[in-house]
Chains A and B, each alone.
Chain A
Amino acid sequence: MKRIDVKLAVPVVAPLLDVIKDLAGDLGETLAAPLALHDLDADFRAAWSDELLAAQKVEVGRLLGLFDDNFFREGVVAFDADNAEVILRACAVIRLRLRARALKPLADEVLEGGGADLLAVPDPVRKAFMCYLFLATLQELIIQNLDESILGS
């Protein structure tokens, strides 16, 4: 099975995990990408929301599970066919939530370009933006290094 091991600096990543955990708790029963299909039958819409929410919880749980005791000992996380897609989606969830909750002071153009002036923003925003970039990096690593046979595109 093809797999990539990514070595991370634990002292750098650990504070970002606190941000992710806080946001995961904050999500609660909320979809990161709100359901925009307004003309669905109410029961159908509720069933969709429930299913999407359940999947979102699993995804975020898998992301947090990457950073277990072994990560804090070795500083390594691994991606393979078993977790690549779910981690990609989990990163999207947390990034969307970061924008909605912690990155409002930053313009959309900044979020798209990834180049904020970190010295000019308050510390909580700086930390949230570092987390936002970290998760994007994980996504890029997965997309670039796990080929189509694994990601199934």
Chain B
Amino acid sequence: MAGVWRVVVLNDPVNLMSYVVLVFKKVLGFDETTARRKMLEVHEQGRSVVWSGLREKAEAYAFTLQQWHLTTILEADETN
């Protein structure tokens, strides 16, 4: 579990764009522009890496995003 981990939010057709932007701002501390850009990545590409870093903190972010009912996965960052 060492190394760098990515927090990836997956698209769903249900949650509103405005809702996802709000969650990204609230949970990840994004500004409006970043939150909208990441939301559009999720919407258009089906997924977006919203954070990367140590496993423990990645798990905390993933859990909080799941609390907001966004489907979230963790991926090992093989480039690090």
CB of B10 within 8 A of CB of A139, answer no
Supposing A33-B12, A99-B14, A111-B13 touch, asked if A89 and B74 sit within 8 A by C-beta, the answer is no
Residues of B10-34 contacting chain A, CB below 8 A: 10, 12-16, 18-19, 22, 25-26
Which of these binds chain B: A7-15, A35-43, A62-70, A117-125?
A: A35-43
CB of A140 within 8 A of CB of B66, answer no
Is B49 interfacial (CB-CB < 8 Å)?
A: no
CB of A37 within 8 A of CB of B13, answer no
In the bound complex, what is the Cα–Cα distance between A35 and B67 (angstroms)?
10
Which residues from chain A contact B10 at a C-beta distance below 8 Å?
Answer: 36
Residues of A8-40 contacting chain B, CB below 8 A: 31-37, 39-40
CB of B16 within 8 A of CB of A136, answer yes
Is B71 interfacial (CB-CB < 8 Å)?
A: yes
Supposing A139-B16, A152-B26 touch, asked if A92 and B69 sit within 8 A by C-beta, the answer is yes
Is A116 interfacial (CB-CB < 8 Å)?
A: no
Is B40 interfacial (CB-CB < 8 Å)?
A: no
Residues of B46-80 contacting chain A, CB below 8 A: 59, 62-63, 66-74
In the bound complex, what is the Cα–Cα distance between A35 and B73 (angstroms)?
8
In the bound complex, what is the Cα–Cα distance between A99 and B14 (angstroms)?
7
Q: How far is the CB of B3 from chain A (nearest CB, A)?
A: 13
Supposing A37-B74, A39-B74, A143-B19 touch, asked if A93 and B69 sit within 8 A by C-beta, the answer is yes
Which residues from chain B contact A136 at a C-beta distance below 8 Å?
Answer: 16
- A residues in contact (CB < 8 Å) with B: 31-37, 39-40, 48, 52, 55, 88-89, 92-93, 95-96, 99, 108-109, 111-112, 136, 139-140, 143-144, 151-153
A-B CB contact pairs (8 Å), 10 listed: A33-B12, A33-B66, A35-B66, A36-B10, A37-B62, A88-B22, A92-B15, A93-B69, A139-B19, A143-B16
Given contact pairs A33-B70, A111-B14, A151-B26, a sample of 20 additional A-B residue pairs in the complex whose CB atoms are under 8 Å apart: A31-B66, A33-B12, A36-B10, A36-B72, A37-B74, A39-B74, A40-B59, A48-B63, A52-B63, A89-B67, A89-B69, A92-B15, A96-B14, A96-B15, A99-B14, A108-B13, A143-B19, A151-B22, A152-B26, A153-B22
